[in-house]
């Protein structure tokens, strides 16, 4: 049956259940949305109407919420007399429906039926539930903008792989992607750059045309609602105090104006950054900046109902703060020791601000420097060390180490690999990734909320390039995040590869431009475009 991710428990019986023209759905209380989604997906692929039916009729898929199951657990039974999906909640029923779709075969992922196709399910019983509550994908739309339809498509791909947290990286030096009514210049100015570096920042190549775009407030509402229908939480990221050049370009008073006007870009107006790396232009630690971003976050909270709000906090170069009389006066005024503590104060302000509004702050592991904000959670990206330190201090952690699950890193050492970045991370490498470090005690390990794969898009200029970097590795990551796998060295990668042979056909049906096992197709290559490959195995720290 080649299911991905692999279920916790599965028993196969001889025979099949064939879906006839009269096959319908009985939607118990709380499962009506799942039934509607099945009619939209399976109905389109199979050509079956899937009408509402009652339990005493024949040819029925029974959907029900069963309080005796864990909240996201499901039980799927295909028996000679009918099909049942039970879940501990509507989310559990939804994840069971994703498994049902896989059982029908790859053509069940198409948008219209193929002629002459018959539909049948293997007689089986599956009991399943996820290992982690946070099974995430981070998509960077700041470096290269992805139009709304592409975002909705990725939510569908996440749902098909049982991923449930969409980390939406909306702002950075190279672009501001969310409409804020109170500050219109964030999108009028901050959402467009004049040109774009093609390849790594050392590349001599440029795309000499403007690049940009943003999501309106209604676009965001649509994305959030679309995700919610698929039981996916959308966690917005608004970067502070670094990675903020696009915001400063729109509102220069947010920057360290006491040191930048004479030394940055010859005193000219700062523009949205057109290259990659870490910009030295960071937010000024002033009351004006705090009030400005409170205004931004007020609108963000209105649009995003998620428990967590991500504030970045990574790669904040502090040279401007060291030279800024205003920043140095703030350090003295607050009784801080240095610029690291100034950043901790900055993050701590928004931690308290979000907590007072019933939300939780999460940031990259640099927020540990200078003292971790109370109640904050950590995205551990510079390896495992930050996550270990945070968990030991009693803070929740999402494990997303760069060396393991940054999917912008290259998939092979071959010369044909397009724009090779970072370490080689093969499909097998991702499959053997373990989110919970063995150094943690069982009590400390409970702070690991889960794991997340990250797609940074500096060298991904369009949706096809994002697909290439994400797949098939995202399928391996999804199994790591969902399934209770043995220790990395003991995982049966040969079995996973065998199941992937079927899964590639699902990806074909979904129109995913994945990297084939034999290497990139001719049109997926980028000959002559400079990357930044790193040789040798990545550090496991």
Question: Among all residues, which ones are annotated catalytic?
Answer: 172, 243, 315
CA angle 465, 469, 471 (to 5 degrees): 110
Quick check: helix, strand or coil at residue 425?
Answer: coil
Distances (CA, A) of 212 to 11, 153, 169, 277: 50, 19, 14, 18
- Residues with Cβ within 8 Å of residue 365, at least 6 apart in sequence: 314, 378, 379, 380, 381, 382, 385, 386, 387, 390
Of residues 136, 118, 72, the one with CA closest to residue 98: 72
Q: Between the CA of residue 429 and those of 246, 274, 504, what are the distances in Å?
A: 35, 33, 18
Alpha-carbon distance 360 to 380, whole Å? 16
Could you tell me which residues are beta bridge partners of residue 473?
none
How many CB atoms lie under 10 A from the CB of residue 289? 23
The residues near 17 (Cβ < 8 Å, ≥ 6 apart) are 78, 79, 80, 82, 83, 120, 121, 122, 123
Whole-number Å distance between alpha carbons of 85 and 128 = 11
SS3 91: helix
Strands 82-87 and 74-79: antiparallel
Cα–Cα distance for residue pair 241/366, rounded to 1 Å = 11
The SS3 of residue 239 is strand
**CA-wise closest residue to 213 among 244, 177, 188:** 177
Ramachandran category for residue 116: left, alpha or beta (phi over 0 → left; psi -120 to 50 → alpha): left
The C-alpha atoms of residue 53 and residue 4 are separated, in whole angstroms, by 30
Q: Phi and psi dihedrals of 352, rounded to 5?
A: -65, -40
Q: Beta strand 134-140 with 120-128: parallel, antiparallel or unpaired?
A: unpaired
Separation of alpha carbons 257 and 235, rounded Å: 31
Residues 242 and 254 sit within 8 Å (Cβ to Cβ): no
Supply the DSSP string of 101-152, one letter for each residue.
HHHT-GGGGSSSPPTT---EEEEEEEEE--S-SEEEEEEE-SSS---HHHHH
The DSSP result for 455-518, as a single string, is: E--TT--SHHHHHHHHTTHHHHHHHHHHS----GGG--HHHHHHHHHHHHHHHHHHT--PPPTT
How big is the chain, counted in residues? 541
């Amino acid at each position: 049956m080649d299911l991905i991710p692999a279920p916790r428990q599965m028993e196969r019986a001889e025979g099949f259940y064939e879906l006839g023209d009269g096959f319908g759905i009985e939607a118990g209380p709380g499962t009506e949305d799942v039934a509607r989604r099945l009619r939209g997906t399976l109905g389109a692929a199979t050509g079956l109407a899937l009408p509402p039916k009652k339990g005493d009729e024949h040819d029925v898929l029974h959907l029900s919420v069963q309080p005796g199951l864990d909240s996201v657990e499901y039980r799927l039974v295909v028996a000679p007399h009918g099909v049942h999906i039970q879940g501990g909640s509507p989310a559990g029923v939804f994840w069971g429906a994703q498994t049902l779709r896989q059982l029908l075969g790859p053509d069940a992922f198409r948008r219209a039926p193929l002629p002459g196709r018959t539909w049948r399910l293997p007689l089986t019983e599956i009991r399943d539930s996820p290992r982690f509550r946070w099974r995430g994908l981070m998509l960077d739309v700041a470096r290269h903008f992805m139009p709304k339809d592409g975002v909705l498509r990725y939510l569908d791909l996440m749902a098909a792989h049982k991923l449930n947290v969409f980390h939406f990286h909306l702002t950075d030096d190279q672009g501001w992607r969310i409409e804020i009514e109170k500050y219109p210049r964030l999108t009028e100015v901050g959402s467009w750059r004049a040109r774009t570096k093609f390849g790594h920042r050392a590349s001599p190549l440029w795309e000499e045309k403007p690049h940009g775009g943003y999501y309106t407030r209604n676009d965001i509402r649509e994305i959030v609602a679309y995700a919610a229908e698929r039981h996916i939480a959308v966690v917005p990221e608004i970067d502070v105090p670094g990675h903020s050049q696009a915001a400063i370009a729109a509102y220069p008073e947010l920057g360290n104006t006491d040191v930048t006007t004479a030394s940055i870009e010859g005193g000219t107006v700062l523009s949205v950054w057109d290259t990659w790396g870490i910009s030295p232009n960071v937010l000024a630690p002033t009351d004006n900046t705090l009030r400005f971003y409170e205004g931004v976050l007020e609108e963000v909270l209105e649009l995003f109902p998620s428990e967590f709000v991500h504030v970045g906090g990574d790669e904040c170069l502090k040279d401007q703060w060291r030279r800024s009389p205003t920043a140095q006066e703030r350090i003295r005024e607050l009784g801080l020791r240095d610029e690291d503590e100034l950043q901790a104060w900055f993050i701590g302000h928004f931690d308290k601000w979000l907590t007072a509004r019933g939300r939780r702050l999460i940031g990259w592991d640099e927020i540990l420097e200078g003292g971790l904000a109370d109640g904050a959670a950590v995205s551990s990206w510079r390896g495992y060390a930050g996550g270990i330190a945070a968990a030991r201090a009693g803070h929740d952690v999402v494990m997303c180490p760069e060396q393991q699950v940054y999917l912008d890193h290259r998939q092979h050492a071959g010369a044909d690999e397009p724009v090779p970045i970072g370490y080689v991370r093969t499909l097998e490498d991702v499959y053997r990734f373990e989110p919970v470090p063995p150094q943690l005690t069982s009590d400390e390990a409970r702070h690991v909320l889960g794991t997340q794969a990250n797609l940074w898009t500096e060298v991904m200029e369009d949706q096809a390039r994002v697909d290439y970097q994400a797949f098939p590795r995202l399928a391996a990551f999804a199994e790591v995040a969902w399934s209770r796998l043995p220790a990395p060295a003991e995982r049966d990668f040969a079995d996973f590869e065998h199941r992937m042979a079927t899964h590639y056909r699902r990806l074909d049906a979904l129109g995913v431009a994945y990297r084939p096992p034999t290497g990139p197709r001719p049109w997926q290559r980028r000959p002559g475009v400079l990357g930044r490959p790193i040789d040798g195995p990545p550090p496991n720290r």
